[in-house]
């Protein structure tokens, strides 16, 4: 029996769902009674694209009050988005995952309104269900790293200066001049980003080109996520790209950017209070039950 098969066998009979936000896909594990805290091995098995269900990450749906690491958010949010990267590690936040998580809460009847909050490792996040079905997440205020240095990102022999942004996941944003340069990047291996002291827990790396003139506020990106690899979309990455682009463009404090990702398009807005909002689609596409091999 493979290690993945053994890990999935521990979850036999568990009902799970599959969903995505602009192609960034997730396995959702409803766990209202706290019976399935999930080990890293179980997460890796669920996320494996050949021996599991396949996903960029796993979203465990847990009660905030029963989750010690976020129990202080229970007054604001009933449900905790226990997000894990595909390699079993945790992350502070996942913007696309948050939209899918919110879509599940509404579709399942766990939330009945169009506005509510969810608990995350990055803090409670306000959710708004839009009239067209899109989901908007308040991603909080973007910050810079504590280490004041210019990060450098390398892919193979090429290197670029980058902009560091925390949303609250750490990101390094690289602007490229030509669309062909973006398309030609080989992101099958993780880009190297330094100085190491700036990113002690790893970093997501975004590569960006403009679409049209700067005043059109429209960009296109690719992303390599820590613990996952290249993905079709990254919500926190799109937010980091907007913050970096707005800084380069000397944009107003209140501004919105359209961000094209390989899996679709999202809109990122910076409000007057500096909070960043991420808006885009979210879909639940399947329900499954974990079974052991015959």
Residue 88 near residue 43 (C-beta atoms within 8 A): yes
Angle between helix 235-249 and 95-107 (nearest 10): 130
In the structure encoding, which two tokens stand for residue 209, read together? 């080109």
The answer to whether 94 is a known catalytic residue is yes
In the structure encoding, which two tokens stand for residue 218, read together? 């429209």
Report the binding-site residues. 24, 85, 95-96, 169, 204, 225-226, 235-236
The answer to whether 234 is a known catalytic residue is yes
53 vs 56: CA distance, rounded Å: 10
**Alpha carbon separation from 116 to 8, 72, 102, 105, 129 (Å, rounded):** 33, 17, 9, 10, 9
Report the binding-site residues for substrate. 24, 85, 95-96, 169, 204, 225-226, 235-236
294 vs 288: CA distance, rounded Å: 17
In the structure encoding, which two tokens stand for residue 227, read together? 């613990």
Q: Is 80 exposed, middle or buried (0-12, 13-18, 19+ CB in 10 A)?
A: buried
Residue 67 near residue 119 (C-beta atoms within 8 A): yes
Of 266, 285, 286, nearest in space to 276 by CA: 266
Catalytic residue among 43, 94, 139, 165, which?
Answer: 94
Catalytic residue among 61, 137, 234, 290, which?
Answer: 234
End-to-end CA distance of the chain: 12
294 vs 292: CA distance, rounded Å: 6
Q: Which residues are catalytic?
A: 94, 234
């Amino acid at each position: 029996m493979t290690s993945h098969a053994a890990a999935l066998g521990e979850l036999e009979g568990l009902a799970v769902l599959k969903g995505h936000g602009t192609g960034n896909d997730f396995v959702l594990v409803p766990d209202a009674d706290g019976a399935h805290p999930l080990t890293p091995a179980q997460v890796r098995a669920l996320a494996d694209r050949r021996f599991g269900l396949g996903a960029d990450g796993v979203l465990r749906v847990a009660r905030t009050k029963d989750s010690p690491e976020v129990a202080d958010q229970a007054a604001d949010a009933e449900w905790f988005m226990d997000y894990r990267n595909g390699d079993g590690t945790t992350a502070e936040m996942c913007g696309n995952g948050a939209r899918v998580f919110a879509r599940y809460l509404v579709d399942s009847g766990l939330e009945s309104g169009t506005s509510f909050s969810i608990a995350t490792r990055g803090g409670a996040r306000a959710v708004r269900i839009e009239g067209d079905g899109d989901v908007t997440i308040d991603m909080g205020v973007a910050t810079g790293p504590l280490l004041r240095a210019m990060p450098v990102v390398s892919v193979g022999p090429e290197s670029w200066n980058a902009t560091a942004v925390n949303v609250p996941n750490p990101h390094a944003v690289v602007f490229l001049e030509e669309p062909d340069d973006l398309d030609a990047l080989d992101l099958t291996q993780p880009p190297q980003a330094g100085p190491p002291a700036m990113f002690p827990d790893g970093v997501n790396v975004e590569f960006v080109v403009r679409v049209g003139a700067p005043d059109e506020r429209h960009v296109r990106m690719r992303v390599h996520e820590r613990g996952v690899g290249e993905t079709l979309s990254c919500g926190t990455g799109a937010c980091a790209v907007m913050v970096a682009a707005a800084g380069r463009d000397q944009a107003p404090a209140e501004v919105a950017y359209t961000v094209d990702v390989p899996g679709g398009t999202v809109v990122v807005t910076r409000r007057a209070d500096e909070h960043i909002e991420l808006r885009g689609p979210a879909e639940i596409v399947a329900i499954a039950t974990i079974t052991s091999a015959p």
